[in-house]
Each structure stands twice: as structure tokens, then as C-alpha cells.
Amino acid sequence: LGAASAEPPPLEQKERYKVGFAQMESNNPWRIAETKSFHDTAESCNWDLVATDAAGSAAKQVADVDSMIAQGIDVLFLPPREEKPLIPAVMKAKAAGIPTFLVDRSVDPAVAKPGDHFVAFLGSDFIDQGKRVAEWVIENFDGDKGVIVELEGTTGSSPANDRKKGFDDRILQDERFEIVASQSGDFARDQGRQVMETLLQAHPDVNIVYAHNDEMAIGAIQALELAGRKPGEDVLVVSIDGTRDALQAIIDGKMGVTVESSPFFGPLACEVMKRYAAGEEIEHWVQVEDRIFTKDNAVDHIDEAY
Ligand code: GYE
């Protein structure tokens, strides 16, 4: 046996493809919108779609990929829930001759590489998203001392790691700001609310909440209101995604900003897959451009939101 080639497996050109989409969980509007985008694209892109839902378990997500490999998919689209536990799934797909595209989250780049173990990562620049939130806060916070609570995404996931880095590095360059607590709410509304309730008791002087996604921001707003605080007046709430509820919270004056992170990956997946089958060289990172939503434009975008 020769050494495995340092290239992803090729994809043959044909009329219809059996496409695997191994979703990680479906407990929030972002995930549901992403899954729907793949189902919608299946019709227009001639896919027989095999879609699974790992219900928040990285181990189940790996097992779901195993079963897709056994079912003979031609190509795999994988949003890895966490950076390290999903590496075996990427490796097994390659060994089975199936090209993999990572969508919306990535894996540890020291171990699994684009242009080798997988074709490409399709998604946003999470460091930049965090940095843009920090810059908006620096420009718009009008107090003397910013006391920040940070609600982190899923521990060990690429967006949680990078949204923290991008925000923290930038905000701490300005001496007005201090991050007094930073804790995971697993990208979920309920956990965001619970963690915020606890952190509010330890840090009643908080006046800025940075959540790594909108669902946790909405949970935090609920916790703040329950404690008699006035989000938008005495606490600035900022986050990332651009969900309908977040845009509504901006319109209602309860949230300051959300930097976009789009879940609509289906059409991009179709396009990149076709280019790959045609033998084109695919950039290792197919980067998605993100808009920014504030009180100036939230109302213009709420109808297209999810
Ligand atoms: O921001 C979050 C979701 O991986 C980019 O995951 C995605 C993130 C998104 O649960 O809401």
C-alpha cells in the first residue's frame, strides 16, 4: 500500500448526486434555516439528499457520517460541532473516497487540512465577526467604564474560539473595558438565560453583554428583564447571526448590534461542488461576506430573516 495521497478524493461529473448533510443539532432557528437551505437546494441542484441530525452529540455526528459512508454518498457536507471530535469523520470520508466540504464550522487545522483531508471550508471569518462587534461597542458605548459579561458558544467549536479571540483582543485595546466573566452557554437560548442569571448575581454592575450568537443574546435579555434590568438602556446587548428575534430586539431597542453569520449554505454548496466536479482548483476557504445589522437597517432585513 502506498501512502495516502495528499489530496481530497475527486468528484465525478454526473446528472444526480447522492449528497450527505450531517447536521449537528436542530434546537435553534439558525440550524433549522441551514437544514432547510440544503433541502431547498436538493431540488434545484439535482441531489438525492441524505440528511441527519446529531441532536447536539459529536459522537452521534461521527456515527451519522459512518452510516452515510455505508450508504454510498458521493459527497459530504459537514458542519463539525466541535473542532477535534469530528476529525475522525473527516478522515474516514477521505479514506472511503468521498470528498468532504466543511460548512459553517471548521476542524482543528493542525490535524485536518483543506486541500488534503477535506476540499474546503465554506464559511465566515469568525475572528473578524468578533472584532467588528468590539469595534461597534467601542464606537457606541457612552459610559465611562464598560463592564462586560461574555457568553461563549459551544466549547471547542471554531466559532466560539474565534469569536472570543476577535472580540477580546480588540476590546481590551481600549482601557475603558473590562471582561469580568466569560462562560459557555453552548449557543443555546435557555443556557444563555441560565448562565446570565448566575453571572448577574456575581456581577450586578455588568453593563455590556457580548453573546457569541443571537439565541444566547435573547436568553440574556430574558434574564436581565427578569432581574429588573433594562436591556438597551442600562445594559448594552450585542451578538452575532442576524436571526428574526435579534432583528426584532434591535427594532425594539433592546439590542445594539448583530453581525451577520448566514445559515443559507445550500446554494453555495451546490456551486462549489459543481466547480470541484469540473476539475477547478477550489480555494481552501470559501469565505462568506457578512453584513452588520443595527437600528439603522434592521427593519429593512427582518422580512428575509429566519
Ligand atoms: O452562529 C450559531 C450556531 O456555526 C456559524 O452555530 C455557526 C454558529 C452560529 O449554532 O448560531
Give me the pLDDT at residue 83, please.
97
Nearest C-alpha neighbor of 138 from the set 167, 180, 181: 167
pLDDT of residue 5: 79
The enclosing H or E element of 64 equals helix 58-70
Is the beta carbon of 105 within 6 A of some atom in ligand 1?
yes
Query: Which residue's CA is the nearest one to ligand 1's atom 10?
Result: 187
Looking at the chain, the number of H-run helices and the number of E-run strands are 10, 12
**pLDDT at site 218:** 98
Q: Residue 261: CB within 6 Å of ligand 1?
A: yes
CA 275, 277, 278: angle at the middle one, nearest 5?
A: 65
pLDDT at 4: 67
* φ and ψ of 34, to 5 deg: -65, -45
One digit per residue, the tens of pLDDT, for the chain of length 306 reads 445 678 999 999 999 999 999 999 999 999 999 999 999 999 999 999 999 999 999 999 999 999 999 999 999 999 999 999 999 999 999 999 999 999 999 999 999 999 999 999 999 999 999 999 999 999 999 999 999 999 999 999 999 999 999 999 999 999 999 999 999 999 999 999 999 999 999 999 999 999 999 999 999 999 999 999 999 999 999 999 999 999 999 999 999 999 999 999 999 999 999 999 999 999 999 999 999 999 999 999 999 999
Nearest in space to 129 (alpha carbons), one of 74, 177, 175, 166: 166
Are residues 226 and 197 in contact, defined by beta-carbon separation less than 8 angstroms? yes
CA 159 to ligand 1 center in whole angstroms:
7
By most ligand atoms within 8 Å of CB, the mutation choice from 28, 187, 210, 216 for ligand 1 is 187
Q: Is the CB of 189 under 6 A from ligand 1?
A: no
Among 24, 30, 102, 290, the mutation site with the greatest number of ligand 1 atoms within 8 A of its Cβ is 30
Nearest CA to ligand 1 atom 8: 159
Given this model, what pLDDT does residue 220 score? 98
What is the 120 CA–ligand 1 centroid distance (Å)? 18
Q: What's the CA-to-centroid distance between 213 and ligand 1, angstroms?
A: 7
Cβ atoms within 10 A of the Cβ of 185, count? 28
3-state secondary structure 87-148: HHHHHHHHHCCCCEEEECCCCCCCCCCECCCECEEEECCHHHHHHHHHHHHHHHCCCCCEEE
End-to-end Cα separation, the chain, in angstroms:
50
Q: Is the CB of 168 under 6 A from ligand 1?
A: no
The C-alpha R_g of the chain, in whole angstroms, comes to 20
Q: How far is the CA of 14 from the centre of ligand 1 (A)?
A: 32
Q: Is the ipTM of this complex over 0.90?
A: yes
- Cβ atoms < 10 Å from Cβ of 142: 7
Alpha helices in 208-297 (DSSP H): 214-226, 244-251, 266-277
The pTM score is 0.97
Does 29 contact ligand 1 (Cβ within 6 A)? no
Cβ-based neighbour number of residue 48 at 10 Å: 11
